[in-house]
Amino acid sequence: MNSTLRLLRSLAMPLLILAAVLFGATAAHARGEWDTGGSAGTEARVFAEAPAWPGQEDGAQFSIILEGDFRWRSEDRRHHVVLVPWARIDSLDGERTHADLREGFYRYIGDGFTVETGVIKVFWGVAESRHLVDIVNQTDLVEDSDGEDKLGQPALRVTHQTGWGRLEGYILPGFRERTFPGLDGRLRGPLPVDTDAPVYEHADEERHVDIAARWSHFLGDWDVGLAAFHGTSRAPAFRRTPDGQALQPYYAIISQLSADVQLTRGAWLWKGEALVREGQGHTFGAFTGGLEYTFYGITRSGADFGVLIEYHHDGRDSDPAIAPPTTFNNDVFLGGRFAMNDFNDTSLLGGAIVDTENGSIAGLIEAERRFGSHIFLEVEGRFTLDVDPQDGLFAVRRDDALTLRLTRHF
């Protein structure tokens, strides 16, 4: 009941904005075409061990995932409307049952500038195993622990393309809280996160208006991005609730400067991301960098094998009540990716993050392929090895899981 109300509440504002935008856009430019699509998926997740913490449900977890994808483009291609509603219904964790407007915006393409208003999805960065500088969208953490699932972000974005790069300015009204597994759910610490009682540093709370700017450019083999952000941290610190039964997310106001760089030379990709952040304890720096090398055409049918090494360093305060905890303080990622390059897009990915200080390992294996034109199958395995009791992974050491997802696309 509670989660249903929350769903409706989280969707109300974006839908209102969108209705206005849709009405305006289509009324002004009735000529254009709608492209409708979407997907329906089923997911099963099984855990290797019984849960570690009180309250967690034992047994397999099943989900249904629904996504719509509606796009309209005017005949002159200058006006776009994009609408991507999304929902998951989960058998085990009420917090994982949730809906979101992943994208829902109106875009106008002018001469040399573009304006987007509504709920957008943006990605910044170049690295694979940690998305350090990516900050516009909130992580939908209850979806997956890899941080690649994002909640839609209300925004006004203005982009200006020049001969010396691309400038983007963002006004971000309306903060989205990070999602966390509930009391019943797996992949959480000993205390669940109470998402009903977040604490904000700023008096405007979730209505604080954040701002961001980015410049990006490519020159020869180099791709470079510089960005600045001021506003509510997407990642919270954690404090105990007064009754001591849960963790309360604490969202600080931060200022951050970041850079992301990639050098592409032959089969080598060299990648680096770095940031400096102020506002969560002492001002700190963090860095992610590494390289990717691909062996092309290793089979007669043209399959590729890529190897990836990335190093992570993060200088933030280690007190989770002050700075959001991270497992990437001093870690190395090693990975490999095999792509068949067949028309079913068959691929296999494996990797592990090793803590260089205590030797704790978090690993993953992912396999995927298409069947026919509409069915897509993914199998994901996540595991931990040699986890040190001091490491952040200790809380989820018994949550090794195998996930099978079958999605029908329309």
Partner 1 sequence: MKTATINPWRKPLLALAAIAALAAPALSQDMALPDWVDNDSERRGYEIAMRSDNSDNGFADSRVEATMVLRNAAGQETSRELSFQTLERADNTVGDKSIVVFNTPADVEGTALLSHARILEPDDQWLYLPALARVRRISSANKSGPFVGSEFAFEDFTAVELNKYEHNYLDTAQISVGGETLTVDVVERFPRYGNSGYSRQVSYIDQEVYQIRRIEFFDRRGDLLKTLDLADYREYGDGIWRSHALTMTNHQTGKSTELNYGEFEFGVGLSDNDFVRGVLERQY
Binding site for partner 1 (CB under 8 A): 35, 37, 39, 69, 71, 80, 107, 109, 112, 114, 121-123, 126, 148, 159, 161, 166, 216, 218, 223, 262, 264, 266-269, 294, 296-297, 301-302, 304, 341-345, 370, 372-374, 376, 407, 409-410
Question: Which residue lies nearer to partner 1 by CB, 345 or 357?
Answer: 345
The least distance separating partner 1 from the CB of residue 138, rounded to whole angstroms, comes to: 14
Question: Which residue lies nearer to partner 1 by CB, 38 or 350?
Answer: 38
The least distance separating partner 1 from the CB of residue 370, rounded to whole angstroms, comes to: 6
The least distance separating partner 1 from the CB of residue 347, rounded to whole angstroms, comes to: 12
Could you tell me if 386 and 355 are in contact, meaning their C-beta atoms sit under 8 angstroms apart? Answer: no
Q: Is 97 exposed, middle or buried (0-12, 13-18, 19+ CB in 10 A)?
A: buried
The least distance separating partner 1 from the CB of residue 102, rounded to whole angstroms, comes to: 9
C-alpha R_g of the chain: 22
Question: Which residue lies nearer to partner 1 by CB, 154 or 189?
Answer: 154
Question: Which residue lies nearer to partner 1 by CB, 302 or 336?
Answer: 302
Question: Which residue lies nearer to partner 1 by CB, 167 or 321?
Answer: 167
Alpha-carbon distance values, 342 to 118, 181, 297, 372, 407 (Å) = 37, 37, 12, 13, 19
Question: Which residue lies nearer to partner 1 by CB, 305 or 383?
Answer: 305
Q: How far apart are CA 67 and CA 42, in angstroms?
A: 12
Question: Which residue lies nearer to partner 1 by CB, 109 or 246?
Answer: 109
The least distance separating partner 1 from the CB of residue 409, rounded to whole angstroms, comes to: 4
Could you tell me if 182 and 95 are in contact, meaning their C-beta atoms sit under 8 angstroms apart? Answer: yes
How is 179-226 classified by DSSP, letter by letter? P---TT-SS--SS-B-TTS-EESSTTGGG-EEEEEEEEEEETTEEEEE
Tell me how far apart the terminal alpha carbons of the chain are, to the nearest angstrom: 31
The least distance separating partner 1 from the CB of residue 41, rounded to whole angstroms, comes to: 10
Contacts 24+ apart (CB under 8 A), 82-91: 82/107, 82/118, 83/18, 83/22, 84/152, 85/11, 87/7, 88/63, 88/64, 88/143, 89/63, 89/64, 90/61, 90/62, 90/63, 91/61, 91/62, 91/63
The least distance separating partner 1 from the CB of residue 13, rounded to whole angstroms, comes to: 21
Q: How far apart are CA 28 and CA 301, in angstroms?
A: 51
